[in-house]
Structure 1
């Protein structure tokens, strides 16, 4: 089967099944999404309605509590002013007006009403069987409350709180709602025991009641003499009202919200029932709570939600419940208000869900339109894919076939082959890359041959075997990190009358690869050209350094070297060790008998740095039986593992100590093996050369 046919089948098999699956899934998922959106729309509408009900409650509750706190502050100021007035002399010459006189006259004397005055003046109330004259002194003191009553209890939104003061003697005062016909608050006609009951100094007593068909709140606080005696009680009575909630939200749903004041009470049967304390009625911008005209007990159903509603109200919790009130399903939001009362707002459930049904119908209609469009697009997409696969397979395979032919010629050795390039697509880029690769491949083949030749040359420059000296076991090895390297070791032997003499050289050229190998080769040639037994190691290095500096001048390259001479065989007592250092690490001399290491130290800079530098020759006694002298390049102890940690000289010495009793060759191999195992799979960054001389 040709590649074009295979590619066509592959493209169709690759594209068509996923496209069919995706199209089918899109149709199925669109239908599910439409249903979920419809269900979600209903849930969101219900949730939004409940949130707005709670928000309306929060606004009303905040406004009612704000008005309550304002009344409490005003009452505290009246008490403070009354306590100050009662301990002083009467301050007003204005006569006190009693409401009994006004009832006889049916109207207050016009002389007692100041010009432009909006509210009636302060009116006094006394028990009907008491002579008013006994109260005139206290009345003269309390006349000082008239400005406070006028300022602290103004009319707001058509509602005016009625403040009053009742003394223990029975005298009371108030500002009447109407100037023409003053009507005393109920607390002024109540027995003193009932008025003062529950009064605690410094605290305000609250009570909820009703007056003239409205739900009212009564606040009372005691007035005390400086000696702690109860002088009287000050109070304020006001219909409970609040700011009306925003109508914009309810108009969106075309619903009529109902505002309620509820209270949970026990029934004779031992259960609990909800009682309607007040209905919210709009009066201007305020919501005034009126007492119901019919039965006060509500009869919600027996569903779990409605039982939980009663429990929440009894426990003073807030929330939203789906319940039935008077047989009508409603969403009822409720929050505790004060003194056992709960503020509630109800919205018809059917009115809200009707909008959800309309939203669901609209969403499902749009969903079916999307389904039809998706199916049509899927059919067109499948047809287009088939046509594109047929034509695309031909477009792709033609340049691929040309590349295959050219690659075959290249494999046969035709390094002049090429392919034609047309267009700017990826296949054209591949053709250009092929044409650029062919000459580069030719260059790399030449370079590879050169590298193989350089490696062969360098390997031939290293000693093939170590010299054989009486009483000594010598071994050496060098491992390059590249095909060629910059490490170097050499053996130079001489015949002498006092015994064989051997110079051992180990060096490390900077860098790696060809450049380091060439520098190492040059150094080897210079050292061999200058080598003679009559010249000390230091002088040898000086001569080679002078010549090498001519080649390394301005290049920054150099060679570190350790030059060791085994004088008279190098074995004590007749033989000795002579050495010179050119920036190389010192040799390590290990004595197994004492288990100690000694370093063959000595100063000296690297070769190729300064042409006039004079190197010194250092010496010590010859090797004793069992002693081991190790020379190595820094690649041995600077080898790193995967974590970047160095092998180090301590590990190097441990290997020397463990294998000191073995042959020199075993020790060299053990050091190389330990370094390889420590590196693991980490890349080799430097050449490693080791020379071992064992007595």
Structure 2
């Protein structure tokens, strides 16, 4: 039995049964989904969305309260750690490798640490930036500081060290025991930061004498103000237990944060200071919401109510402008606080009703205009006169409500879990099967891989020795057949590349300089080798003073088309130089070409034109080619130059007629092109068309031949967009720039 069948039946036994169960479960879930959706066809989607948003915002509010409880418990543990450290009569000496000691003076932003040049020393300039001795401080995601202009600047920190703040008014020797005690807080702070994650963004401890500890370590401190006047410190001393303060800039970063603080007592049970945990407001809100669960543009805010001028409650967002005290310079750090700002909506009545609900501790969902959009606003109580507010555009809420109703989510979730278990089981079984069968299967595959690498390196003699009789052996035999074919294909590619170079070299590099005429022409091929051809033929001898212009289009593309084009060019050039009208020239070329192409199905269209500058006339013949266009500025019209004649290579005795143009005047422009231009299609399947070609010709004709050529190709590229060309495009433009110049008698002779 072939390996294919062995593996088929084994894999079928391992995979079909789980897949069948998965299919049955999927069908059951979809059936339930269909029944439930059918039963709710008449339900109003907006009301459904209001219910969902109200329920979710209450869940988020409860989750926010749990986050606050966790942070309150964490700050209580932090306070216990501080009290335990202060009660220790002989704390271990301060370890310089675990501490950055910063001393600040009132007349400068930062001073040098008082412990020499060890790792704990730091120097910073007046701008508060870390100094050059801050070894170990690194830029960490989530830690940055807000500059006065509002930009975010890097804030290097070290999660393995503490920053101890020594006010300049304190004696280092007397403060050393308390510094040693504060240094022992590194372990508790790290544990709390590990447990709380990004919510414990900054942990600060401040003693009554101004000594302070900050985790993680950063080299920013200042004595331009007294941090014991900060709101969180005063609130902790005034009230027992964990105390929450309103949003305020975070110490050392300026980010809008909420702080939970707790009083710290000394060995004598008297207040010895306070400790706090700062959480950026955006991180706190992000931890309780799930982006995109209701709408992709869901906005979440903490709002409060305050009486307005009339004594009625007004709704304010606890994330407004940052006000700074100007008593001491720029008022860096802890003295800055946040002023709640009004919620921007023109629906004052709705805002008033929402403020009444928040003041009364009532949850609700209301519809209002926010940032120019019709929105649903859901709010739920989080504290006295405070609520969690979530705003979502109605358009997104409706789309989400249609797509993910609560019961549908539950069904899909069960289907996903069950399918995942089946997929895991199948993967484990297949992995075990692959491991067991690897010895028998991988050996020939490795041999085939080595041969393939040799082939990829250009060794076309690479072969697989002694391929077996199974599918892998069949693959080896195919590989052995592939190598010589690939060798032949590479040689063919080289031949095609050479043919392409030869073909392009046969086209005019630039038009000839003919007095009174402006000439331009080019070809753009859709393959490496194309079938389009154009040529300028300045004559001497009997046809001196005439200029021949030819443009041909060979059927098909590729190498055969290029060879036929080259043959036609070789036949046309010597025949055009001999006497004869354009019709006779084309007929002779057709006769010779048909003898080569008869029975092959290959043919070529041709437009051949001769211009007599002295007489101001032109004569032309068409061999199945589209007519040329003539723009006359006197009338502003574009006419076609047409004459009868079938394509070259179809019938040996085909007849052609000569058309003429008399009275060529300055400003007239002749455009000869291949059908690849007007039959080009854009991504929508619409053709470029001859009407568009005529319009562009008339518009660009006064600017000269090259301008017409550039305008047509620019319009073609803009029209087709990303769609590639399906056919070669060749254009020749002849613009008359001067009146006819009769030949002088001796020149004619």
TM, length-normalised to structure 2: 0.40
TM, length-normalised to structure 1: 0.43
